[in-house]
Chain A
Amino acid sequence: SQQGEEDPQALSIQEGENATMNCSYKTSINNLQWYRQNSGRGLVHLILIRSNEREKHSGRLRVTLDTSKKSSSLLITASRAADTASYFCATVTFTGANNLFFGTGTRLTVIP
């Protein structure tokens, strides 16, 4: 079953602005990952944050994780038109197979 919910469902910003997407999940996790999907394409992995980490950076991406609130956020700074895509969070639990449980996604549109 899908474990995550993302907020907002859609986000439209001007180029150069920052974009923030939020993800909530339901059960204890081993790690949380963010993926990007361009229209009609497969998913591309962006960043992984472990359950014992609170913040992680990669280029213009900043991810936070609050395990007490079972939530995460993805910040994209200085957005570009090429950042237009859908963004998904996905969680991995401690037990069982290495399966990803995906959220419903945020559709980001960056206006040039």
Chain B
Amino acid sequence: DGGITQSPKYLFRKEGQNVTLSCEQNLNHDAMYWYRQDPGQGLRLIYYSQIVNDFQKGDIAEGYSVSREKKESFPLTVTSAQKNPTAFYLCASSTRDRFQPQHFGDGTRLSIL
């Protein structure tokens, strides 16, 4: 089945530690996205990539980093510079057609130890 896989489902971070969230898609989509969702809130865009080896900052990129070395993969690193990382992180992918929807993974919940 085609889809997006996020792992792990739950992740815990210690103070001063970087953690990496995985996102893999087999939909052959060019574009991939990372969103952050806080309780009772909508989604805010962290980073996006429209093509391999290229990515752009979204609205809340500070304290995060990404890479796009393969079309299928778009990992997100939450660095120690992100002072409030506790949130639900969602990855999505789409074609570059504005009239096509984004497809979402089932998210990773990150908490601080």
Interface residues in chain A, defined as those with a beta carbon under 8 Å from any beta carbon in chain B: 1-2, 4, 30-31, 33, 35, 40-45, 48, 50, 88, 92, 97-100, 102-105, 107
Q: Which residue of A lies closest to B4 (CB)?
A: A42
B19 at the interface (CB under 8 A from A): no
Q: What CA separation (Å) do A42 and B90 show in the bound complex? A: 7
- Assess the B45–A99 pair: CB atoms within 8 A: yes
**Known contacts being A42-B105, A45-B103, is A97 close to B42, with CB within 8 Å?**
no
- Residues of B near A1 (CB, < 8 A) are 59
- Residues of B near A88 (CB, < 8 A) are 42-43
**Known contacts being A42-B90, A43-B104, A97-B48, is A31 close to B43, with CB within 8 Å?**
no
B8 at the interface (CB under 8 A from A): no
Interface residues in chain B, defined as those with a beta carbon under 8 Å from any beta carbon in chain A: 4, 6, 31, 33, 35, 40-45, 48, 50, 56, 58-59, 88, 90, 92, 94, 96-99, 101-107, 109
- Residues of A near B6 (CB, < 8 A) are 42
18 contacts between A and B (CB under 8 A): A1-B59, A42-B6, A42-B92, A42-B106, A43-B43, A43-B90, A43-B92, A43-B104, A45-B103, A98-B50, A99-B33, A99-B48, A99-B58, A100-B102, A102-B43, A103-B42, A105-B40, A105-B41
